[in-house]
Every structure is written in structure tokens, then in C-alpha cells.
Amino acid sequence: MTGDLVGRTAIVTGGAQGIGEGAARALHAEGAAVVIADVRTAEGNNLAATLGERARFVELDVRDAKAWSHVVAEAQSAYGRVDVLVNSAGIAPVAPFAEYREEAFRQVLDVNVMGLFHGITAVAPEMRRVGGGSIINIGSIGGFRAFPLMTGYVTSKWAVRGFTNAAALELGADGIRVNAIHPGQINTPMTDGADFDTAHVALKRVGQPADIAGAVLFLASDSSRFITGEDLVVDGGDLAGTANWTSVPDQNGRSGD
Ligand SMILES: NC(=O)c1ccc[n+]([C@@H]2O[C@H](COP(=O)([O-])OP(=O)(O)OC[C@H]3O[C@@H](n4cnc5c(N)ncnc54)[C@H](O)[C@@H]3O)[C@@H](O)[C@H]2O)c1
């Protein structure tokens, strides 16, 4: 533990499981007080109890602006301040474009994009009050490259990049940094049963939530104090291996055909 985050308070949405849980555990281990905010009350309460001191669960549907006010008020009254917000709550419905219902499309945008809007709107005044903060939006490599059968998800994750950039520009003057982490294929309940494809991935493996947590700690801490509006891809070299070569050049750059 570096102690970098001692005295800081972090809110982690989607913190009850998966990448959010990994982030909550890591932030807590580095000394931060952690507010786990999620719709999964049983898992969230269990995690808070496991972490013990400096951890609590507050029920939150990220689409609900009122519930957001409650989360920030709870963090404020329990720990006196809010320094970090990790927006990890997300959904990833799979459906062919032709069968995508309007309601389902709106729902993924509501959770994955409007959730960020409500979150930043809720925490920014509190961060401003304490002289700054760090907001970390969990996007996806789907925000750089489309996945089949996930139009809503891919649209939402491209939006995360635009939103992150725009919010960083606006909030920078208040010392509030806004960055995005874009995970690759990560083993979580969301991807349970997924057919992972690591053949093109540089590191030849699927990631774990702990692989994302290091990036969260970096962006949450003062080590990243001059970084804002940034897209940090944490994918083991998944995007790096995306190029679909039909023939492999030799060492002189000549085509191997
Ligand atoms: N797992 C991957 O391979 C992967 C890859 C790239 C990006 N991501 C992104 O990382 C984030 C976390 O994904 P994960 O794999 O941990 O998923 P997960 O399903 O394991 O966890 C997501 C959490 O978000 C919560 N959640 C969902 N809707 C919510 C809502 N309306 N309000 C509050 N909480 C809500 C869930 O209850 C759950 O605890 C998501 O934004 C996801 O898109 C995941």
C-alpha cells in the first residue's frame, strides 16, 4: 500500500461485482473510504461487510438522479468528502440489429451513458468544494472497434469517450479530472459463458478485474495529476492485434504472398 489514497473517499458504481468490485477492493486496500453503489443489494452489502471499516453499500440505480443525491449525501455524511468517482455500472445486451427494440436500445444508453451524466452532475459540486477530484469512466474497447450483435453497447461506449473528453474540458478549471479506462476481454459475471477470443491478443489471455484495478488506482491518485480527458486502453494488446492481415510481410516489408 502506498497510502496515496488515505483520507480520500471513492464512490464506485457497479461496485458489487466484476470490474467495479475489483476497483472497490483496490481503492480500499490503498486506504480510501469506499462507497459501493449498485442495484445488487445483497452482493454490495456483503462486499462492504467483507471490507469492513471505511466501506459501505448504498443502493443506486445510476439512471436515477435522486438516488445519486442520496449516495453523495451518504458519502459526505460518513466520510466528509468525495474525491473519486468510478463509473463501472454497465449493461451489455446482445441482439441482432434487426431485432433490437427501441426500448432496449434506450435502456443501454440510459445506464451506460446517462448514468455517467447523473453521476458527474451529482459529484462535481462536492469535488469542487474540496478543491478537485478524479472521475474514472469505464468504457470498453467496444468504443474503438465494433462488436457484432451489440449496436446499443458499442454506441454507448463510443459515447463514453466523447462524454469523458467534454467533461474533462469543462471541469478541469475546478481541478476535477475526468478520464476513461477501456477494458478488453475481462472475466466477470457480465462475460460469464462468453466465447473469449484471445488468439489476436498480444498477451494471449483474458483479463481479470485486478488487471483493471491498477489503472483505476493510477487515475485515482495524484500520480496522474496532469492527466485528464484521456482514454486508457487496458486490454492486454487486444486492439493492437486487431489488424486482420491476409498475408504476412517478411522482414523487409515485402508481402509474403
Ligand atoms: N467484462 C468485460 O469484458 C468488459 C469489457 C469492457 C468493458 N466492460 C465494462 O466494464 C463495466 C463493468 O463491467 P463488468 O464486466 O464488471 O460487468 P458486471 O455485470 O459483472 O458488473 C456490472 C455491475 O453493474 C451493476 N449495474 C448494472 N446496471 C446498473 C444500474 N442501472 N445501476 C447501478 N448498477 C448497475 C450490476 O448490478 C453489476 O454489479 C461495464 O461498464 C462494462 O461495460 C466490461
Q: Over the chain (257 residues), what is each successive 10-residue block's mean pLDDT?
A: 88 98 98 98 98 98 98 98 99 93 97 98 98 98 95 98 98 98 98 94 97 98 98 97 64 61
Side chain identity, residue 190 = M
Going by alpha carbons, the residue nearest to atom 42 of ligand 1 is 90
Residues 24 and 15 sit within 8 Å (Cβ to Cβ): yes
Q: What pLDDT is attached to residue 97?
A: 87
Q: Is the CB of 186 under 6 A from ligand 1?
A: yes
Q: Catalytic residue at 153?
A: yes
pTM: 0.96
Q: From 19, 111, 116, 150, give the residue whose CB has the most ligand 1 atoms within 8 Å, as the site to mutate.
A: 19
Ligand 1: distance of its center to the CA of 32 in Å?
22
| CA nearest neighbour of 15 among 104, 136, 184 | 136
Cα(114) to centroid(ligand 1), Å: 14
| Pocket lining: 17 vs ligand 1, CB cutoff 6 Å | yes
Are 203 and 233 within 8 A, CB to CB? no
At 30 the pLDDT is 97
- Alpha-carbon distance of 23 to 30, in angstroms, equals 11
180 Cβ closer than 6 Å to some ligand 1 atom: no
Residue 81: the pLDDT is: 98
Strands 55-59 and 84-87: unpaired
CA dist 61 → 1, 38, 70, 223 (Å): 31, 6, 11, 31
pLDDT value for 213: 98
**Residue 68 and residue 122 in contact, taking contact as beta carbons nearer than 8 Å:** yes
Domains of the chain: 9-241 (3.40.50.720)
* Residue 14 CB–ligand 1 contact under 6 Å: yes
Q: What stretches of 15-147 show up as alpha helix (H) in DSSP?
A: 18-29, 41-51, 65-79, 102-109, 115-129
**Ligand 1 site, residue 71, Cβ cutoff 6 A:** no
So what's the pLDDT on residue 87?
A: 99
**Separation of alpha carbons 69 and 71, rounded Å:** 6
pLDDT at 245: 54
